[in-house]
């Protein structure tokens, strides 16, 4: 599909480092991302937007647990559904405002999206997906002891809860999303990697998990026949030797290079690793290019002026 792009917005793009994550902060941060996406729309692209929900779904779980003696609690799949609505609303409002400011009348829709996984996925016995805020070591140990959480140290930024992250198998609302794209509707879908569900005895049942949004985004972009996938994160480029004295920004990578760096441990799980893995999957399925950059450089990245560009052969097409 030419002149079409899927933009995967990180949950941390809406809650920046050092912020409390208030709704007003999230709206303010969303406007930067929305501004760049509106500029992409002005170039005539058909656009699908996905988003993460790591900080938000963690907060939703905390609220559910804290109020469990006064109201019903929410399982993780329902928390994912709730954050799809919350973040979808923030992105929808922000993007429509930016489109109107440019006199662009393309409609925008939010699609509640389920993603099927397999109950047999090994991830259910080895939680690895970080959610919620970062904690100091003492607080994290207290959560582990009192709530039974699985805790890991995340990219030298602190300690964080982890939950199962099974591989996405099927985008349940793919036909709805496909029709939106065909009708030139900007669609916000597959939020938080999608609401995790399994097929059991003919029924669709939610499960306690969070699917990696970049893997779901790669699956969705491939199913839609898109040739470009843009992954928004908190850095302008992908780096090797990240946060070391010899840190180096990588502007162009082939699938071979990306696979090699992964094997060398350059990209950590729960951080850049899943993004690179998703990029490789998308390109192996027929995609042409993956761009990884931060919200401020989405448009520049799409134009080839910023970000890390990953292709099957690693050569840039100007």
Chain segment 34-91, per-residue pLDDT in tens: 999 999 999 999 999 999 987 888 788 878 777 777 888 888 999 999 999 999 999 9
The answer to the question of residue 20 being in a domain is yes
317 is catalytic: no
Q: How many CB atoms lie within 10 A of CB 306?
A: 19
Bigger pLDDT: 265 vs 55: 265
The answer to the question of residue 94 being in a domain is yes
118 is catalytic: no
Yes or no: say if 301 and 245 are a contact pair by the CB < 8 Å rule.
Answer: no
Q: Of these residues, 10, 58, 129, 273, which one is catalytic?
A: 129
State percent of the chain over pLDDT 70.
96
275 is catalytic: yes
pLDDT, the chain, mean: 91
Q: Which of these, 278, 291, 252, 239, lies nearest to 45 by C-alpha position?
A: 291
Q: Of these residues, 10, 11, 269, 270, which one is catalytic?
A: 11
Q: Of these residues, 54, 192, 275, 287, which one is catalytic?
A: 275
Enter the pTM of the model.
0.90
The answer to the question of residue 218 being in a domain is yes
Q: Which residues make Cβ contacts (< 8 Å) with residue 2, sequence separation at least 6?
A: 227
Q: State the Cα angle at 55 between 49 and 61, rounded to 5°.
A: 115
193 is catalytic: no
pLDDT at 317: 46
d(CA 9, CA 214): 9
Q: Which of these, 166, 168, 169, 190, lies nearest to 178 by C-alpha position?
A: 190
pLDDT tens digit string along 86-137?
Answer: 999 999 999 999 999 999 999 999 999 999 999 999 999 999 887 777 888 9
| Residues 270-295, mean pLDDT to the nearest whole number | 93
The answer to the question of residue 134 being in a domain is no
The answer to the question of residue 59 being in a domain is no
- Domain enclosing residue 207, as ranges: 4-54+77-118+168-311
pLDDT tens digit string along 14-32?
Answer: 877 778 888 999 999 999 8
3-state helix, strand, coil in the chain (%, to 5): 40, 25, 35
Q: Of these residues, 12, 29, 36, 53, which one is catalytic?
A: 12
Q: Of these residues, 10, 53, 143, 213, which one is catalytic?
A: 213
d(CA 135, CA 153): 9
Bigger pLDDT: 270 vs 273: 273
User: Which domain CATH number covers 285?
Assistant: 3.40.1160.10
pLDDT at 315: 52
> In angstroms, how far apart are the furthest CA atoms of the chain?
59
Bigger pLDDT: 17 vs 153: 153
The answer to the question of residue 123 being in a domain is no
11 is catalytic: yes
Element at 27 (helix H, strand E)? helix 23-42
What is the domain count for the chain? Answer: 1
């Amino acid at each position: 599909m030419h002149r079409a792009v899927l933009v995967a917005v990180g949950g941390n793009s809406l809650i920046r480092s050092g912020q409390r994550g208030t709704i007003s902060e999230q709206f303010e941060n969303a406007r930067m991302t929305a501004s760049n996406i509106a500029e992409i729309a002005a170039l005539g692209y058909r656009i699908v937007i996905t988003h993460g929900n790591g900080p938000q779904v963690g907060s939703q779980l905390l609220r559910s647990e804290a109020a469990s003696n006064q109201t019903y609690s929410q399982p993780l799949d329902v928390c994912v559904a709730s954050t799809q609505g919350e973040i979808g609303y923030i992105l929808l409002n922000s993007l429509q405002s930016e489109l109107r400011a440019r006199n662009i009348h393309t409609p925008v829709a939010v699609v509640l999206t389920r993603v099927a996984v397999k109950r047999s996925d090994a991830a259910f016995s080895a939680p690895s997906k970080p959610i919620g805020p970062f904690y100091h070591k003492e607080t994290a140990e207290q959560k582990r002891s009192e709530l039974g959480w699985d805790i890991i140290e995340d990219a030298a930024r602190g300690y964080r809860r982890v939950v199962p992250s099974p591989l996405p198998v099927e985008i349940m609302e793919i036909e709805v999303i496909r029709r939106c794209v065909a009708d030139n509707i900007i669609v916000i879908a597959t939020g938080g990697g999608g609401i995790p569900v399994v097929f059991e005895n003919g029924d669709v049942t939610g499960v306690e998990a969070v699917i990696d949004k970049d893997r779901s985004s790669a699956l969705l972009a491939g199913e839609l026949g898109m040739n470009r996938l843009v992954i928004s994160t908190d850095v302008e480029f992908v780096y090797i030797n990240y946060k070391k004295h010899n840190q180096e920004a990588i502007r162009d990578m082939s699938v071979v290079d990306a696979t090699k760096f992964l094997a060398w441990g350059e990209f950590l799980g729960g951080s850049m690793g899943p993004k690179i893995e998703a990029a490789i999957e998308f390109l192996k399925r027929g995609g042409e290019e993956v761009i990884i950059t931060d919200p401020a450089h989405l448009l520049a990245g799409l134009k080839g002026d910023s970000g890390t560009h990953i292709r099957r052969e690693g050569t840039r097409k100007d």
